[in-house]
C-alpha cells in the first residue's frame, strides 16, 4: 500500500525549544542580526593608602626598601648608643679610676698613686698593704657631690631617650611629641655628661692635682654616643614619617577600564534598509 503526505502534514519539532519558540514575525525579521557582547576588561582595585605608599613618597610603607634602610640604620645607632651609654655610666658608678693623684706617704716619702671615682675612691691604706681596693666616700674624704648629681641626671636623661627609641623600634608607633621629648632629652644627656668633668674642681684635685683616668675617657665616649643618637633621631624623624599623617583617610577607589562600545559594530554595509512596517 502506498502512503501519500498531505499538505496539512507537518514535521515533528526537533527539540522542546523549537516546539515552544516564539513565532517569527515580519518585524523580528526586519531587525539586523547582533553578535554577543564583549566582556568588560578586568577591574583593578587600589586604595589611596597604596597610592601614597611609594618608595620615594612622603609616607613610605613599612615594606618599602627606603624605610627598611632607615630602620636598620636607626637600629644600629640605637644599639651602639645603648651599649656605650649604659655600660659607660655603670662603669662610672662602680669604678674608682676617674682620676689619679700621686701622693707621698710614709717616712721615706714613697710615691703612691691614689685613684678617685665619682662614688668610690682608693684610700692610702690600700696602696700601703700591697693591693688597691675601692671604698665609698666617707668623712675622711670629700665626695664630688656636683659631679655625682650630673652623673645621675645624665643617666636618667639617656635612659629616657633610649626608652623612647626602643618603644618605637618594638611597637612601630610613637607620637611626634614623645619622639621630640626623647630627642631633646638625648641632647640634655650630652650636656650633663660633659658637666661630670666638674669633678676636677674638687678640693682634692685643686690641692693635689688630678691626672686623667680611664673614667674621664669614658665620659667623653658616652657624651659622644648621646650626641650621635640625638642627631640620628632628628634625622630619621622625617625619613620615617614619625608623627606624620596623610591628609586623606585611606578609601577604596575602583579604577575600571571599560570598552567604549558594549557591542561589536554592525556590518559596514550601509545599503541595508529595514523593510517598512505595514
**Residue 276 has which C-alpha cell?**
517598512
- Structurally, the chain folds into a number of domains equal to 1
Confidence of residue 60 (pLDDT cuts 50, 70, 90): very low
pLDDT at 10 over 70: no
What does the alpha-carbon distance between residue 17 and residue 180 come to, in Å, rounded to a whole number? Answer: 79
> Does residue 247 belong to any structural domain of this protein?
no
Give a yes or no: residue 68 inside a domain.
yes
Q: Does residue 72 fall inside a structural domain?
A: yes
- In this predicted structure, the answer to whether residue 248 has a pLDDT above a threshold of 50 is no
Structural domain that includes position 87: 51-95+144-239
Q: Is residue 122 part of a domain?
A: no
**Residue 18 counted as domain residue:** no
In the structure grid, which three cell numbers stand for residue 246, read together?
A: 596623610
Q: Is residue 230 part of a domain?
A: yes
pTM of the model: 0.63
pLDDT for 70 equals 86
- Output the DSSP codes for the chain: ------TT--PPPSSHHHHHSPPP-HHHHHSPP-PPPPPPPPEEEEEHHHHH--TTSSS--TT-HHHHHHHHHHHHHHHHHHHHHHHHHHHHHH-S-SEEEEEEETTTTEEEEEEE-SSEE--HHHHHTTS---EE--TTS---HHHHHHHHHHHHHHHHHHHHHHHHHHHS---HHHHHHHHHHHHHHHHHHHGGGGGGGSHHHHHH-PEE-HHHHHHHHHHHHHHHHHHHHHHHHHHTTTT---SS---EEEEE---S-SS----S-TT--PPPP-
Confidence of residue 271 (pLDDT cuts 50, 70, 90): low
Range name among 74-78, 83-87, 132-136 with the lowest pLDDT average: 132-136
**In a domain? residue 9:** no
Residue whose C-alpha cell is 502506498: 2
**110-116 and 252-256 as β-strands: parallel, antiparallel, unpaired?**
unpaired
Give the dihedral sign, CA 263/267/268/272. Answer: negative
pLDDT band per the 50, 70, 90 thresholds, residue 140: confident
> For the segment 156-165, what is each residue's pLDDT rounded down to a tens digit?
999 999 999 9
Domain presence at residue 26: no
Amino acid at each position: 500500500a502506498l502512503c501519500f503526505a498531505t499538505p496539512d502534514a507537518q514535521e515533528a519539532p526537533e527539540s522542546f525549544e523549537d516546539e515552544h519558540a516564539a513565532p517569527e514575525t515580519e518585524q523580528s525579521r526586519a531587525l539586523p542580526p547582533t553578535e554577543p557582547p564583549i566582556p568588560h576588561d578586568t577591574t583593578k582595585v587600589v586604595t589611596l593608602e597604596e597610592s601614597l605608599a611609594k618608595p620615594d613618597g612622603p609616607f613610605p610603607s613599612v615594606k618599602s626598601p627606603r624605610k627598611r634602610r632607615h630602620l636598620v640604620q636607626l637600629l644600629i645607632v640605637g644599639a651602639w648608643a645603648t651599649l656605650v651609654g649604659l655600660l659607660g655610666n655603670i662603669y662610672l658608678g662602680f669604678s674608682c679610676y676617674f682620676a689619679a693623684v700621686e701622693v707621698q706617704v710614709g717616712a721615706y716619702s714613697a710615691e703612691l698613686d691614689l685613684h678617685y671615682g665619682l662614688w668610690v675612691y682608693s684610700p692610702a691604706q690600700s696602696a700601703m698593704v700591697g693591693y688597691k681596693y675601692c671604698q665609698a666616700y666617707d668623712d675622711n674624704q670629700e665626695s664630688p657631690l656636683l659631679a655625682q648629681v650630673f652623673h645621675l641626671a645624665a643617666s636618667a636623661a639617656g635612659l629616657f631617650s633610649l626608652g623612647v627609641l626602643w618603644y618605637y623600634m618594638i611597637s612601630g608607633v610613637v607620637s611626634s611629641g614623645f619622639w621630640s621629648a626623647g630627642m631633646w632629652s638625648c641632647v640634655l644627656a650630652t650636656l650633663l655628661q660633659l658637666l661630670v668633668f666638674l669633678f676636677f674642681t674638687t678640693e682634692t684635685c685643686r690641692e693635689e692635682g688630678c691626672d686623667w683616668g680611664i673614667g674621664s675617657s669614658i665620659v667623653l665616649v658616652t657624651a659622644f654616643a648621646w650626641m650621635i643618637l640625638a642627631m640620628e633621631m632628628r634625622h630619621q624623624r622625617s625619613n620615617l614619617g614619625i608623627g606624620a599623617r596623610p591628609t586623606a583617610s585611606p578609601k577604596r577607589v575602583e579604577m575600571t577600564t571599560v570598552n567604549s562600545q558594549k557591542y561589536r559594530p554592525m556590518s559596514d554595509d550601509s545599503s541595508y534598509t529595514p523593510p517598512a512596517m505595514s
